[in-house]
Amino acid sequence: MARVGLALGVASALTGYLSHPRFYCNYVECCPRDGQRLNASGTAGAGGGRAAPELGRSLGSAARGVRALKAQLDNRLFGQHLAKDVVLKAVLGFSNNPSPKKPLMLSLHGWAGTGKNFLSQILAEQVHPAGLRSKYVHLFLATLHFPHHDQVKLYKEQLQNWIRGNVSACPSSVFIFDEMDKMHPGVIDAIKPFLDYYEEVDGVSYRKAIFIFLSNAGGDLINKAALDFWISGKRREDIQLKDLEALLSVGVFNNKNSGLWHSSIIDRNLIDYFVPFLPLEQRHVKMCVRAEMTARGYAVDENIVQAVADEMTYFPKEQRIYSDKGCKTVQAKLDIHEDLVMREMKARGVGQLLAAAHTSLKEIDAVSVRKV
């Protein structure tokens, strides 16, 4: 009897241990608990960037999380001082607040290849370390998930159900809506009730979720503002959010191809921050090439860095300051160079082998002659 009791005791202790969140969540992805909304270790994703441990100890969890996010952005996102500042400010306010009044809603705008998806990915990794692979991070592409104009009603219904289900499962879910400029007007208004200042909607609280819109809309306005700064001899780093924010919100609201055209989301001021992405200059393209070479495990070769940067096209035509595609084609261009370098190395390797073989043959010949 005593043995059975002991066995039951051990079994229940073991079950308790295995099902304890600390153990269980080491092996299965868990929704972060309250007060744990940002990953404070700074180890998410590729670029490293740990928060200093001595500071980590003296800061609260939210502040540590923001510090780790800052380190990631400082190390990995180039040429986007505004986007960096705005996102850090937004996330600091949001994660410091134990009961936010509404979900965090960011709208990222800018030219192609300037880092909108990249920043969303870094931010998502900071909330859910698996990033885009996390079951709590949801990426919608307008052209893939909402392609047909005549099905807007159905999309709205599906979207609401999807968001309701996922936020019920994990309050700190992250929803990223890409290609907002290709979204049929009206679709996105389906999420308005979730973004508003309601404690709960049908028994679900959305106030800890994060919504991110990505769009090229307004990119031309940002580019023009950046160019005006450049022409008047001012430093890019001196461009401030106030120089662009109003311009963006009005421009996007009045742009029929923004996905937010006359949207009640803007009308009701539910977007917390418009985040501008500046067009990237050649020096930033070079930084992207160096980062990519390092990520691939190569020593940085400045000749290749320059060659890739030279292959990009730049605008405006006369001044050639900003990269047409930002850093977007860097990886593909580097693939070609990598291929060439490998071929050259192989060729050199074969040449060296042949030369070595040639020398050995000569030596053998010499020995044979001597023997004779």
Residues contributing to the site for ligand ATP (CB under 6 A): 77-80, 110, 112-118, 216, 288, 326-328
Q: Please say which residue, 70 or 208, places its beta carbon nearer to ligand ATP.
A: 70
Compute the CA torsion angle 143, 211, 238, 308 (nearest 10 deg): -40
Q: Please say which residue, 67 or 116, places its beta carbon nearer to Mg ion.
A: 116
Cβ of residue 105: shortest distance to Mg ion, in angstroms? Answer: 18
151 near Mg ion, rule: CB under 5 A: no
13 is in an annotated binding site: no
79 binds, options Mg ion, ligand ATP, none, Cβ within 5 to 8 A by partner type: ligand ATP
Cβ of residue 231: shortest distance to ligand ATP, in angstroms? Answer: 22
When CB distances to ligand ATP are compared, the closest residue is 115
Q: Which of 308, 334, 321 is nearest to 282 (CA)?
A: 321
Q: Please say which residue, 4 or 332, places its beta carbon nearer to ligand ATP.
A: 332
User: Strand 210-215 vs strand 314-315: parallel, antiparallel, or unpaired?
Assistant: unpaired
Q: Where are the alpha helices (DSSP H) in 232-329?
A: 241-253, 264-267, 282-295, 302-311
Cβ of residue 325: shortest distance to Mg ion, in angstroms? Answer: 11
117 near Mg ion, rule: CB under 5 A: yes
- The reply to whether omega before 316 is within 30° of 0 (cis) is yes
294 is in an annotated binding site: no
115 is in an annotated binding site: yes
- Cα distances from 128 to residues 94, 123, 317, in angstroms, run 16, 9, 42
Contact 310, 329 (CB under 8 A): no
Site size for Mg ion, by CB under 5 A? 2
The three-state secondary structure class of 372 is: coil
230 is in an annotated binding site: no
Q: Which of 249, 277, 244 is nearest to 116 (CA)?
A: 277
What is the binding site for Mg ion (CB under 5 A)?
116-117
Annotated binding site: 110-117
Annotated binding site for ATP: 110-117
